[in-house]
Amino acid sequence: MKKDTTYYGVKEIARRANVSIATVDRVIHNRTGVSEKTKRKINDIIKELDYQPNILASRLASRKIITLAVLIPRVSEETDFWEAPLRGIKRAESEIKKYGIEILHFFFDLNDKNSFEEQARKLLKEDVQGVLLSPSFIEESKEFVQACHTKKIPLAFIDSDLPGQDNLCYIGPHLFHSGYVSAKLLTYRLKENHKVLVVNISKEIDYNYQQIEKGFRSYFTDHNQPCEIVRIDIADTDNLSVTNALTRVLHEHEDLEAIFVTNSRVFAVASFLKKSKRTDISLIGFDFLKENINYLNEGLIDFLICHKPEEQGYRGLMALYQKLVLGAPVEKVHFMPIDIITRENQAFYQN
């Protein structure tokens, strides 16, 4: 019969400390009845042996269920970006469910604040110990975060940050540097005294978009490159609204050389440029979506910036597990890589 290596670990600690196994168990689980001198001796041996208690056994023995909730946008017809974070969440879920962890999923419409508020209310009615959140609507997200704080529920943020909210952690892109890198990439086709267009396609232009655009503009300032930057915000994200808005701005600025789209909807701009036969305009945007890859391969998108969204979902859920189950410290901010994807390397990229 195979030995229980964890029990053997406790037995070895007891032997070295010259105490009973029960005494070692008291120290490991922080129970009373052990002198400070003995406790220090046992803890020194634990540290020396790099002993890790059997989390699975103790979780199963406690029979206590820990419930975590996920509140993120649903996959929509307009963009399948959220398929990737959800894959990461499900991967983490498959790893931790054996420890008595239950995951509740709540999905909202990225174009509908009411949908977010409705799902947030449903979540708060549940008895949850931690929340993984993508804070997509600023004021509504702040209200939800405050409600979680009142209930002493820790939150992990992914994809978008919400500064000043005392969340457990943020796992996602460095927004300023993502915009900065995007500007540098755009310059490879630009002429002197160039004109570029920044396109925000979103219901709400929040802190995250502002930071991306700030980084983009800073590159030209830092490198003393004269550049006229035109900006357009498209709040209605359907194809017709995007087409109408882009038609107007290109009519007013026929000499545009490049377009920077601040989110994953760059495929909508690529589609417009293709239909308008404006392949002379260079284009850059975000995220490894099927539609974006198709236009990248056609040469209509020059570069995509990617931040490993599947890994964000996985790390976000595991951060809550690390805090609530293992009682281990969690890194407050974890910036994801700024990956540059081209037509030549996209086949080898893992999102």
Question: Within 10 A of 284 (CB to CB), how many other CB atoms are there?
Answer: 23
CATH of the domain at 188: 3.40.50.2300
Q: Are residues 181 and 302 in the same domain?
A: yes
Torsion over CA: 90, 92, 97, 102 (sign): negative
Least confident of 13-22, 136-145, 258-267: 13-22
Residue 1: pLDDT above 50?
Answer: no
Domain range for 20 is 5-53
Contacts of 279 (CB under 8 A, 6+ apart): 273, 299, 300
Let me know whether 152 and 301 are in one domain.
Answer: no
Q: Tell whether 167 and 201 lie within a shared domain.
A: no
Percent pLDDT > 90 in the chain is 64
Q: Is the pLDDT of residue 2 over 50?
A: no
Same domain, 209 and 289: yes
Residues facing residue 229 across a β-bridge:
196
Please write the tens of the pLDDT for every residue from 70-127. 999 998 777 789 999 999 999 999 988 888 899 999 999 988 999 999 999 999 999 9
Number of alpha helices (DSSP H) and beta strands (DSSP E) in the chain: 13, 12
Residues 216 and 313 in one domain: no
Question: Are residues 98 and 80 both part of a single domain?
Answer: yes
Number of independent structural domains in the chain = 3
The torsion angles phi and psi of 251, rounded to 5 degrees, stand at -70, -40
Residues 196, 257 contacting (CB under 8 angstroms): yes
DSSP state of 206: -
CB 104 within 8 A of CB 128: yes
Residue 341 within any structural domain of the chain: no
CB atoms within 10 A of CB 320: 29
Q: What is the per-residue pLDDT across 137-178, written as a single tens digit (0 to 9) for each?
A: 899 999 999 999 999 999 999 999 998 899 999 999 999 999
Tokens standing for residue 68:
């975590």
pLDDT of residue 3: 40
DSSP state of 262: S
Q: Which two tokens stand for residue 174?
A: 């460095």
Average pLDDT, the chain: 89
CATH of residue 38: 1.10.260.40
